[in-house]
Every structure is written in C-alpha cells, then in structure tokens.
Structure 1
Amino acid sequence: MSLDVKNAIESGKTALGIEFGSTRIKAVLIGENNEPIASGSYDWENSYVNNIWTYSLEDIWKGLQDSYQKMANDVKQQYGVTLKTVGSIGFSAMMHGYMAFDKDGELLVPFRTWRNNITEQASTKLTEVFNYNIPQRWSIAHLYQVILNQEEHIADISFQTTLAGYIHWKLTGEKVLGVGEASGVFPIDLETKNYNQTMIGQFNDLVAPNNLPWKLEDILPKVLLAGENAGVLTEEGAKLLDVTGELQAGIPLCPPEGDAGTGMVATNSIAKRTGNVSAGTSAFAMVVLEKDLSKVHPEIDLVTTPTGNLVAMAHSNNCSSDLNAWVGLFDEFAKAVGMNVDANELYGTLFKQALQGDPDGGGLLSYGYLSGEHMTHFEEGRPLFVRSSESNFNLSNFMRVHLFTAFGAMKIGMDILLKEEEVKLDQILGHGGLFKTEGVGQGFLAAALNVPVSVMETAGEGGAWGIALLASYMANKENNETLEDYLNQKVFAGQQGKTMSPDPKDVEGFEQFMERYKKGLAIERAAVDNLK
C-alpha cells in the first residue's frame, strides 16, 4: 500500500487541500483513491483589536506555511519522499468578512472576519433594497457599512475579496472565487451562476451619491464553478507556500471555496433534497433546494453549492458548549468521590441516559446561550436551566433536555424551511462532536427534523479534505462528469454509514419541548436584560 502511495506522491497523482478554520488551519494531502495520506495543522485564534475581530496577515502566512510544512514532514516521515509537486491544490476558509486592497495590492484596513456584528445598518438596508436576505457577516454588508461610515479608505479600493480568495490570489495572481464562496460575498443569479447583475446595478445606484471612483463589478473577484481551472501556482506562490523551496511552480489550482461548500463536499451533501447538519460549538443545517423560497426570511441565509445550486442555511451560534459544561460538572463530582472516568465513557454514559427520558424531557427547559443567538434575536446569552415544581426532574430528562436544546435554535430555522416553505428532504447527514455517541444525537436530530439522519465514517475528515476533493475533481474528472457523480462513484462509493429514521414518539416529544422552548424565551430575555 505505502509503495503505491509513494509512487503517487512522486508522480504527482495527489491533491492538496488547505482550509483556514476559525481555530485551526489544516492541510490534507489525498492519494489516487481520494483518501487522506498525510496532514498537518496549525492552531490559531482571532484577536479583538479596536473593536474588530481579526487575524493578522503575519498569522495568516505563518499558519499557512506551518501547516504545509507539517504535512510535507508527515509525507517524508511516512513515505521517505521529499514533496516537490502535487497534482492539484485547493484553498478554503471561513466565509464572508472584509478584505479590501488598493491598486498596489496593499490591505487597506485589518481583515474583518465573519464574527463581527458591526454592519446592522448596511445589512438591513441591502436586504430591503435587494428583497434578499443579506446577513451582517456578508462581504457586501461590510463594504456598504464602510461607505455608510464614510471610512477614509473607500476611494482607494481596487479589489475586495475573502480570506480564501486572498490566499489564492497571492499564490496564483488570479482574482477569482468559487461560486459557493462568492455566494457569501454577493447574491448569485442561479441561471448565470454569476453575481446577480440586477442587484449589482441597484448597489451602484445606491452608492452613486458618494461619487466613488469604482463600480462594484470592477472590484469583485471573478466567479468560477467547481471543476474549472483557477490558475497555477506561480514561482512566487510556491516560495510563499513552501519556505524550504522544494515545491515546484506550475501546479493547477481549483477555485477557492468557503467552509460551507467544503463541508457539503466532505459529507456528500451537494445533490438537491440532501442536507447536512454540523453540530459542535455552533449548529448549522444546510439544505440543497429544488427551487427559490417564497419570501425573504431573516433567519435563513441563502448560499450555493460549489456547483451553483441554491442552499438554505439555518445557523445557530450555540449548540454544545453549555452541555459540555454540565458534563464537566459530573466529571468534577466523579473525581470528588474518587473515580477517574474516561471522557468518552462519561459522555457516552450520560448521553445514553437521555434515551431513557420522557419523550418531551419531563417538562424541563434549558437554553445553552453562552453567546447571543440571532435565530431567536438575542444580542447576548445567559445559559439557563429552568423547571416547574410539577416537572419530572431526573438525570435522564436532564440530559435529554440539554441535548434537545442544543438543536433548539437551529430547529426554529429548519421549521421555517420544512413546515412553512415545505422544502422536501430525503435525508440529512450529521457530523460533528454531538454525534460521537452512537444513536443519541443522531436519533434526537432525526426527531427534531422528522427526517432520516445518516452519520458516515468519514464525516470527521472535515473541510480540508473537502477542498482537496474539489482539487482532485478539477484535475481528474472525465469529460462532462458532474461533481455529484464524481463524489458518488469515486469518493463515497461503498462507504458505510448508519441511518436512523425518526421515532414518531420522539418527534411528538420534541414538538412539545419546542412549544415550551418558545414560550420560555421571555425568561431568557429577562435574564439577558437583568443579569449583567
């Protein structure tokens, strides 16, 4: 096996994906069978500087070079080969945010990440003008807010892009974005798979009184679809990526994508009527739509797959953090009575206990709002656990309710899609920490959405693998082979996954819990307003 892999590495029959997540930059090299053969990662954190969440350019390049070097060292250690070339490369990163450059390619203001909620005025106005939901974190909301603020640099803008687009530009010279990433910059026309030209005109008219020396279409990156060639690694780019100078120039790159798109690819959820739910610190569901929604919903983001199909996203800021804190409390108790319990065993025991609870959680209620929750209109959070004197307070119901509430805010968004908009879903694929204990989080998600939920063995591979697959698809697709066919036949064929159908009793119990959850939001509001 390793001899085959060694030959593939030496002959460049590989693909490299590098993804910039919010806490980790990860590089994954895949072989001819699209499975990971080497990896490297770099941990990093955003900084809060002058009321802006940001990452410095120095950190961006240090993290890229470090993760690449660790991956190259992994290749050397495992296969005895110095990495000099790969078949194709792809970059992905956290979507949205604001990176604006002048005509000399200099960054005009520090990178403003998706995490900044500083564009409410712009977001509200653009949503109204376009009749299309423009969330605060979108790049166009940042740009318009900069204009509303009359910031000094606006006349000097020559190019605006995202983090993934910036890395790609510096390594190839190409100012491009994959359509999925571009869909978080500006709305996409589903017919042309390009920016919506009507809305571009509306934006230009809106900012015309400012007499800016540029038009919006002049400063945005070009939009490309999955499978299209997005340039090659330049000599300068090769030195930026590999500081040892071993990596050769000329390697083709696929379009840079966002972390939402790479998550869809890594879970094989890009076909219509499919979706995926990522459940960890936050929870978000992405559903590939068959048609437009009937109206604008502020709770629902609309983006696209890397192939340009419409995706509805229901995103909640809070999922498992408060649940983890309660498990930590049980861990402290175990230690206090002289027991050392393995973390996996502790989680497994407590999660399985939830299966014994009453269908609705026994009348208990909790909110895991460590931070604000836009889905339910909270600018700050207060984690709460509440019960009435009549409720059935025991360990099973306590754990059940904390698992239910982890999906609570996201379910409000999903109910808009599934009940109000009558979106059809054949299955959802779950990935993330909440699904590690077999059959618990998966079963509760199936109950929350009333849809079969599958968990794949590869669901933990993540977005760096997803962008490596997109690079592989660009380099290895045959004739008119679609990305969907490529994933089904060459990546996920024969993969084992476990599917759980919703239990009608649990579905009804979850609905009862949600009635309580919605009524109890007044308690959360009182806590936010009165507990500082």
Structure 2
Amino acid sequence: MDTVETKNFIESGQAILGIEFGSTRIKAVLINRNHIPIASGAHDWENRLENGIWTYTLDDIWSGVQKCYADMCDDVYKKYGAKVENLSAIGISAMMHGYMAFDKNDELLVPFRTWRNTITADAASRLTELFNFNIPQRWSIAHLYRAILNGEEHVNSINYLTTLAGYVHFALTGERVIGIGDASGIFPVNSETKDYNSDMINSFDKVISEYNFSWKLSDILPKVLVAGEEAGVLTEKGAGMLDPTGALKPGARFCPPEGDAGTGMTATNSVAKRTGNVSAGTSVFAMVVLEKELSKVYSEIDLVTTPSGETVGMIHCNNCTSDINAWVNMFKEFLTAMGFNADMSMLYKTFFEAALKGEPDCGGLLAYNYFSGEHITGFEEGRPILARTPESKFSFNNFARVCLYSALATLKIGLDIMLNGEGVKLEKMLGHGGFFKTPEVGQRIMGAAIDVPVTVMSTAGEGGAWGIALLAAYVIERKDNESLDMYLDEKVFGTDAGTTIEPREEDVLGFNKFIDRYKKGISIEKTAVESLN
C-alpha cells in the first residue's frame, strides 16, 4: 500500500489497533489489511514501590495510554496527513497476572498489585497443594487468597477481579471478559472446556466458605473467551477515555484482552505444538506449546495456554535486562566524564557485540542480576552481584558475556526441567524483546543456554502490541474453522521464516560450565540478601 492508499485506508476506518501495557513502555501499533504496521506510538512508564507493593496508579494507566495513543495519532498525521476517527478493530494486552479488585461501583479497592510482587508465598503454596497444580506467586488467585488469609477488609466488597488487560478492556467496552491465555494466569483453566477448571473453583469456594463472603469465585472472575471470539465494541465513554480530544468515534470491534505471553506467541508465530518463544526484556519468560501433560507438578513451571487454549509450559523469571541497563548507564556516565557524547544505541550495540568475543564460560566470572526476588531459585528479594576469583579473566568481553549469561540463567534452570527432565520436544525457539535487538548476539547466547535453534522474525521488534493487533484482525477476518495457527501461517507470516541461528557446541559447553558455577554460588546471593539492606 502506498501513502495515498494508506491514508484512504485509515480515513475510511479500516485500520486495526493493538495496544500493549509492558513493564516499562506502553506501545500502540496500527496495522493495514496486509497486517503490516503503518504507524506506532509509545509512552515510557515505570512501576513504583509503595508500602512494600509494586504498583501503577490508575492515573499512570490512563494518562499513559492516552499519551501513547496521541503519539500514534501524531505518527499517522506526519506520515499520511490523516486523522484517526474510526477503527475497525482494537485489541488490548498487558503484563499478565497481578491483582485488580473492584467493588460494585467499579471503584478500585486496593492499589494494583503487579506480577512483580513476591508476597504471596504462603497462599500460593497452600493453593498448589489444594489443587495439585502449580500456582505461582504472581497469579491473581494467589493474591486473592493472600488477602483472605491476611483478613484484608476489602475482600468482602469485591464485585469484580481481573488483570490489567481485563480492566482496560472493561473500561473501553463495558465487557467483563478475558482471553483464555490471560485467564490461565488468573486461575487454572481446562484446555478441553476452554474455561476455568470447575473442580478447582469448587475446591476454592469450599475452603473459603467459613468466611461467609457475599460472593463465590465464579461470580467475580471475568468470562473466558478464546481467540477469534467477539469481545465487545468501543463505547462512547471508552472512546473518550482513549482519545480525550473526541476525534475517535465508538464502534470498533474488540478481540478478547490478552496477556503479554499470548501476544508474544502470536507475534512470533509460535502457537503450534513443538514451538516455543522467549520474550526477554525487563523480565524474561519462555513459552513451550506442549504435546502432552507434564508427569508431575513443578513449582518452576506455570501451565498456561495459547490464545486459542492449547496447554503451554511457561518459565517466568522476574529479572533479565535491568542489570545490563544499569551497567550500560554507568559506562555512559564514565564516557561523559571523559568528555565523550555517548549514544545509547551504540553503547548497547558495543556491549552486546563484545559478549560474543568473550570466552564461552565467561573466563570464570560469576554474576547474579537479581534486582527483585526470583522464585525459581527461591528468593523473595534480590541483590545484583558480580563475583570473581583472583584467577578469573576479568576482561571487558568476559564481563559483557557474563552479564548476558546472568540474564538467562534462571530461565535455563527452568527450561532444563522441561527439555531434559520431561523430554519435551522443541524444534525451534523464537525470540523477541530488547535482548534480541542486536543482530545475532541474543540468539547466540540463547542458543548456548538451551541448545536449540533460535529464530528472530523480521517483525520481532513490533512485539506484543503487534501481536494483539493480529488477534484483533483475526476476529474480523477469520473464516469458519480457521485455527489461529493456520491463520498466522497463511495470512500473516507466509514465507517469512525469519533468521535462525543454530547453537554452537563451544557456546553450549561454556554456558553449562557457567550454570554449574552459578548454582554452586547461590549461597553468595543469599548472604547478600541477608546482609545488604
């Protein structure tokens, strides 16, 4: 589509919008009939620690998405001289999990508790035992049960419990629904019925019956929908919340709101069995679509679903690139002090490329990138650490490499359970997120960690906002019985196979040496947590 055709396409209200609330950025992507991004907008934001809780305020949410949407509209006008007044479809995605509880007046009862909080250990453990199903600390049901066990006053007033994506979708459409992928991070779902697990719902209601709440669990959870189902339309009120200028008109159709895991799978065309994807940014998580159930319950593995309801083994780690960012910023300060005007993109490129020049085992260096707790290795708090022996080869290249290894270390520990312990078959891993931005580097390091070919698509940089836009397109374009994986293969990705890098034996052996050192040194991290306050 040329510029004139794209302008007419936008002004005729045919464009499709995807918005994703990431950990550090809200992003909007507008796509055309060929599913190609034609405009985008973004707004940076950051969670805050208030009274021991990681949170974003409602003002953060709405001022952020309005700025993001306005930025996208500015991009449209600059490129095409067009104004966005009507859209054919919209999709909302956000960080999975967390806790947003509302009363009958749709007022938020307590500040939003995000996925980053590691405060529900007791509740999650009890629920895991009750259900014989792993309930991670991040999940909404763990936050709810913690609030019940702690006797929090707001619990009896709950009328609606949802995630960030579910909340924004509800505000824009009035529909209390959720995509099955996001739902599977609220409460366990049944992949056959495509709904919450009814036996576990009954077990939970029985356990909390002594509290005599005014609700049962099924009363307060959003309705589960799968990819391709209609999930409401943009209301007049919703249009004003998204675009306070009044230019945007109501009527756009919505797909089910989804979590960032589901949009990551969609954006990387990894919703079919024997495929997986890894999203590496502030946090890192890997999704592997399973052919069969795991043999037992693992605390390290979340069982969630694709947007169409296929069972997925998910490894989620709280820490990934934050420590890398901190070091790169420190190097920028050093260069500035030296009188050099350091470009951040060049700094990151130099840092990542240096890692490939480092020794496969990082020259004996050891690093823990824990800015916050990490459940896979048993930490409720974290302390970033760099350690070495007098014999370690402390070069810049080895240092860069150990920082990148550290970013994937806990992910590797979790994935090893599936790939080695359970014999899960994985033919390729598709990568997206900032960790893969520098060509080849992220793929080489990830391949070293998991000994599987790693592919990056040409569209990987578009991320979850593009993924949820594709799910919105699927709602209005889907043919009868056309599965999501068929739709993505035939209508979206076609012959785009991306760039694949095979793992190198020396890299795999080097990462294995590093991870052995990493596991042996866990006591160092424990001592740091206890000692550094």
Q: TM-score, normalised by structure 1?
A: 0.94
Query: What are the residue-to-residue correspondences of 1:35-184 with 2, within 5 Å?
Result: 35-184=36-185
Letter in 2 for 1:260: A
1:307-342 CA distance string (max 9 Å, x none): 111112212222233334444455555556665554
1:213-234 CA distance string (max 9 Å, x none): 2211111111000000011222
Letter in 2 for 1:188: V
1:286 match: secondary structure: strand
2:257 is the counterpart of 1:253: no
Structure 1 residue 522, shift from structure 2 partner: 1.7
2:460 is the counterpart of 1:459: yes
2:307 is the counterpart of 1:306: yes
Could you tell me whether the CA contact under 8 Å between 2:56 and 2:112 is conserved in 1? yes
The match for 1:428 is 429
1:263-296 CA distance string (max 9 Å, x none): 1111212111111122233222121111111111
1:477-518 CA distance string (max 9 Å, x none): 222221112212222223362111111122122112211111
Letter in 2 for 1:225: V
Following the alignment from structure 2 to structure 1, what is the Cα–Cα distance between the partners of residues 90 and 248?
12
Letter in 1 for 2:217: L
The match for 1:406 is 407
Structure 1 residue 427, shift from structure 2 partner: 0.4
1:337-374 CA distance string (max 9 Å, x none): 66555444444444334334333223222222233322
The match for 1:396 is 397
1:218-261 CA distance string (max 9 Å, x none): 11111000000011222332233332333222221111111111
Structure 1 residue 519, shift from structure 2 partner: 0.7
2:20 is the counterpart of 1:24: no
The match for 1:470 is 471
2:363 match: secondary structure: coil
Q: Which moved more, 1:324-333 or 1:313-322?
A: 324-333
Structure 1 residue 417, shift from structure 2 partner: 1.2
Following the alignment from structure 1 to structure 2, what is the Cα–Cα distance between the partners of residues 509 and 379?
29
Distance 1:158 1:396, change over 3 A: closer
Distance 1:142 1:368, change over 3 A: closer
1:372-406 CA distance string (max 9 Å, x none): 32221122222222223333443433333222222
Could you tell me whether the CA contact under 8 Å between 2:116 and 2:318 is conserved in 1? no
Following the alignment from structure 1 to structure 2, what is the Cα–Cα distance between the partners of residues 184 and 453?
26
Following the alignment from structure 1 to structure 2, what is the Cα–Cα distance between the partners of residues 355 and 71?
36
The match for 2:443 is 442
Q: Which moved more, 1:192-201 or 1:277-286?
A: 277-286
Following the alignment from structure 1 to structure 2, what is the Cα–Cα distance between the partners of residues 328 and 46?
19
Could you tell me whether the CA contact under 8 Å between 1:275 and 1:428 is conserved in 2? yes
Could you tell me whether the CA contact under 8 Å between 2:103 and 2:160 is conserved in 1? yes
Structure 1 residue 300, shift from structure 2 partner: 1.5
Following the alignment from structure 1 to structure 2, what is the Cα–Cα distance between the partners of residues 450 and 131?
31
Letter in 2 for 1:380: E
Following the alignment from structure 1 to structure 2, what is the Cα–Cα distance between the partners of residues 478 and 140?
35
Query: What are the residue-to-residue correspondences of 1:232-251 with 2, within 5 Å?
Result: 232-251=233-252
Could you tell me whether the CA contact under 8 Å between 1:95 and 1:162 is conserved in 2? yes
Distance 1:79 1:177, change over 3 A: same
1:462 match: secondary structure: helix
Percent identical among aligned pairs is: 61
The match for 2:200 is 199
Letter in 2 for 1:69: A
Could you tell me whether the CA contact under 8 Å between 1:14 and 1:472 is conserved in 2? no
Distance 1:84 1:187, change over 3 A: same
2:85 match: secondary structure: coil
Q: Which moved more, 1:322-331 or 1:131-140?
A: 322-331
Following the alignment from structure 1 to structure 2, what is the Cα–Cα distance between the partners of residues 53 and 18?
22
Could you tell me whether the CA contact under 8 Å between 2:412 and 2:450 is conserved in 1? yes
Distance 1:506 1:13, change over 3 A: same
The match for 1:363 is 364
Letter in 2 for 1:277: V
Distance 1:169 1:400, change over 3 A: closer
Q: Show structure 1 runs of 5+ residues with no match.
A: none
Could you tell me whether the CA contact under 8 Å between 2:457 and 2:499 is conserved in 1? yes
Could you tell me whether the CA contact under 8 Å between 2:437 and 2:461 is conserved in 1? no
Could you tell me whether the CA contact under 8 Å between 1:100 and 1:158 is conserved in 2? yes
2:253 match: secondary structure: coil
Following the alignment from structure 1 to structure 2, what is the Cα–Cα distance between the partners of residues 161 and 328?
36
2:254 match: secondary structure: coil
2:208 match: secondary structure: helix
2:364 match: secondary structure: coil
Following the alignment from structure 2 to structure 1, what is the Cα–Cα distance between the partners of residues 216 and 386?
51
1:385 match: secondary structure: strand
1:395-452 CA distance string (max 9 Å, x none): 4333332222221111111111111111110101122222233222211211110100
Q: Which moved more, 1:385-394 or 1:458-467?
A: 385-394
Following the alignment from structure 2 to structure 1, what is the Cα–Cα distance between the partners of residues 385 and 236?
55
Q: Which moved more, 1:179-188 or 1:474-483?
A: 474-483
Following the alignment from structure 1 to structure 2, what is the Cα–Cα distance between the partners of residues 437 and 18?
24
Following the alignment from structure 1 to structure 2, what is the Cα–Cα distance between the partners of residues 213 and 337?
65
Structure 1 residue 153, shift from structure 2 partner: 2.4
2:487 is the counterpart of 1:481: no
Following the alignment from structure 2 to structure 1, what is the Cα–Cα distance between the partners of residues 220 and 530?
42
Distance 1:471 1:205, change over 3 A: same
Taking only aligned residues, the RMSD between alpha carbons, in angstroms, comes to 2.1
Distance 1:336 1:256, change over 3 A: closer
1:177 match: secondary structure: strand
Following the alignment from structure 1 to structure 2, what is the Cα–Cα distance between the partners of residues 350 and 59?
32
Distance 1:127 1:434, change over 3 A: same
1:461 match: secondary structure: helix
Following the alignment from structure 2 to structure 1, what is the Cα–Cα distance between the partners of residues 57 and 397?
46
The match for 1:15 is 16
Structure 1 residue 12, shift from structure 2 partner: 2.4
Could you tell me whether the CA contact under 8 Å between 2:97 and 2:163 is conserved in 1? yes
1:160 match: secondary structure: strand
Following the alignment from structure 1 to structure 2, what is the Cα–Cα distance between the partners of residues 337 and 237?
51
Following the alignment from structure 1 to structure 2, what is the Cα–Cα distance between the partners of residues 335 and 153?
50
Following the alignment from structure 1 to structure 2, what is the Cα–Cα distance between the partners of residues 67 and 447?
37
Structure 1 residue 31, shift from structure 2 partner: 0.8
Could you tell me whether the CA contact under 8 Å between 2:364 and 2:389 is conserved in 1? yes
2:318 is the counterpart of 1:317: yes
Structure 1 residue 132, shift from structure 2 partner: 0.9
Structure 1 residue 32, shift from structure 2 partner: 0.8
The match for 1:3 is 4
2:527 match: secondary structure: helix
The match for 1:290 is 291
The match for 2:282 is 281
Following the alignment from structure 1 to structure 2, what is the Cα–Cα distance between the partners of residues 59 and 339?
35
Structure 1 residue 456, shift from structure 2 partner: 1.7
Letter in 1 for 2:35: N
2:361 match: secondary structure: coil
Q: Show structure 2 runs of 5+ residues with no match.
A: none
Letter in 2 for 1:120: A
Q: Which moved more, 1:274-283 or 1:217-226?
A: 274-283
